[in-house]
């Protein structure tokens, strides 16, 4: 398991990279999948480190947890499967 110090240092370094690209890059550089993923990782690490509340992290601004649950309900209704069963992918 990583230490809080290591996580915080990585998050701070990644945030600097993301911010530099956002502030100085063009739209093509800012909209890459790597940049979007790095932003998502920064958000996640903020939550892991307690810098973001769980409720806010689950909100539409970040994870949109309610939308995920709506999607699950549709799949369950369509397939008869339950998301609380064993996971085949992970």
Q: Using an 8 Å Cβ cutoff, are 12 and 39 in contact?
A: no
Q: What value does the mean pLDDT of the chain take?
A: 92
Residue 32: predicted pLDDT: 96
Answer yes or no: is 80 within a domain.
no
Task: Return the pLDDT at 85.
Answer: 64
Q: H or E stretch including 59?
A: none
Our count of domains for the chain comes to: 1
Domain range for residue 43? 4-52
pLDDT value at residue 8: 97
Q: What is the pTM of this model?
A: 0.79
Residue 60, in any domain of the structure: no
């Amino acid at each position: 398991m990583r230490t809080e110090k290591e996580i915080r240092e990585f998050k701070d370094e990644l945030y600097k990279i993301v911010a530099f690209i956002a502030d100085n890059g063009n739209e093509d550089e800012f909209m890459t999948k790597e940049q979007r993923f790095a932003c998502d990782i920064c958000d996640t690490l903020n939550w892991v480190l307690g810098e973001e509340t769980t409720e806010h992290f689950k909100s539409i601004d970040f994870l949109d947890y309610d939308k995920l649950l709506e999607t699950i309900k549709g799949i369950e209704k369509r397939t008869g499967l339950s998301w609380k069963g064993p996971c085949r992918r992970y």
